[in-house]
Structure 1
Amino acid sequence: MAVVFQLEEYEPEVYRRKARMISVAMAGQLIIFGMLFAMLLTTTFGSSFWLNALGVFLGLLATSALFAALKDRPWMNEVRYVWQLKHHLGQISGYLSTLRREVKADNRVALDILTFYHQGMQQLAELNDRTPDDDAERLAEKLEVKLKREKLGMSEEVTHFDPQDLSAFKRS
């Protein structure tokens, strides 16, 4: 059962600071765990490239397990939110050509999903302190979607995305 994803507001500076801190911490843990496991394996079984590689792999597994245990902590909210946003935007991108075709037929669900996609891409760019990838084609599409929503009496913004809505469409 898919859970409805809700757009939330976060401070870009707070997100970027936490993302950097967590990235550095995870990289440090991977290095330490990888070296520790490699050292334990080579000390116990003798020096070998494969034992060193196995140590690094075990370090990766230990770092991943630790990260999985910590991912639901409150101080991970912003980072977890951005991962989920990226995941949903990636899901939607697999359906873009179908969604675009359905928007031309005034499909309200497709209009909602495409509006969410554009809003999510905009928010992701802001959180990552990047300029949105708004080429002329994307801007024209955003305008077309906005005008269709107005014509159909739909609200300008969409605040949530239900992955189940994609099941009505074929992947492109």
Structure 2
Amino acid sequence: MTLEQIDKTRYRKHLNIVIVACIAALVVGSLGIARVLILALPSDSGSHFHWNLLGVVVSCIAIGFALKRVEHHPFMTEVVYVWRLKQALNQITRKLRKIKAAAEQGDVQAMHALQFNYAGSRQLWQLDDNTITMDELAISQAQLDTLAERYNVEADASRYQSEYLKQL
């Protein structure tokens, strides 16, 4: 994955629309399905928990299929990009201890992975207005810059390959 510049206002607007649409679909779908099932197959005990649960599960699956189907639509470009960026950063975070240890030993790919992690996190936090931990990120970036200078490496986020994580 490569980092891309995206329009923050367009991203926020589209994300909010997607969230509201998903919530509305979940409410209408789950209540509608549960109501139809309750009318078609009433329970003698008066408890309809299982039909309500089934309505929620079916609605969630339908929403997932719908999102998968429209993910390539231009409206979803920014939302899908951020979703994939979060997945990529999560993969790195799960192996962060090993990546940092490899970077300490001078592993160039590890330094690229760390640079991607820091640049992607910075972008993500700015898009979501979550700038509370930016100071910690700056410290980690400074440590990476020191390592890169020690090993005479130019850490480059664009050179990060997710296949590297499979080797760790």
The alignment's TM-score, normalised by the length of structure 1, stands at 0.86
Alpha-carbon distance in 2 for matches of 1:52, 1:95? 39
1:22 aligns with 2:18: yes
Higher relative contact order, chain-length normalized (CA < 8 Å, sep 6+):
1
Given that 2:111 and 2:155 are in contact with CA atoms closer than 8 Å, whether structure 1 keeps it comes out as no
Q: Deviations over 1:61-85 (max 9, x none)?
A: 2222212211221110101000100
Residue of structure 2 in register with 1:116 after alignment = 116
- What is the 5 A alignment of 1:83-98? 83-98=83-98
- What is the 5 A alignment of 1:126-165? 126-131=126-131, 133-136=133-136, 138-155=137-154, 157-165=156-164
Which aligned runs of 4 or more in structure 1 are off by greater than 6 angstroms? Answer: none
Specify every segment of 5 or more residues in structure 2 that has no aligned partner in the other structure, as ranges: none
2:8 corresponds to which letter in structure 1?
Answer: P
The alignment's TM-score, normalised by the length of structure 2, stands at 0.88
Alpha-carbon distance in 1 for matches of 2:53, 2:157? 47
Given that 1:150 and 1:156 are in contact with CA atoms closer than 8 Å, whether structure 2 keeps it comes out as no
Alpha-carbon distance in 1 for matches of 2:77, 2:59? 25
Specify every segment of 5 or more residues in structure 1 that has no aligned partner in the other structure, as ranges: none
Residue of structure 2 in register with 1:6 after alignment = 2
Count of residues paired in the alignment: 164
The share of aligned pairs that are identical, in percent, is 25
Give the SS at the match of 1:159: helix
CA RMSD after TM alignment: 1.8
Given that 1:115 and 1:157 are in contact with CA atoms closer than 8 Å, whether structure 2 keeps it comes out as yes
Per mean C-alpha deviation after superposition, the further-off stretch among 123-132 and 87-96 is 123-132
Given that 1:30 and 1:59 are in contact with CA atoms closer than 8 Å, whether structure 2 keeps it comes out as yes
2:140 corresponds to which letter in structure 1?
Answer: E
User: How far has the Cα of 1:128 moved from its partner?
Assistant: 0.6
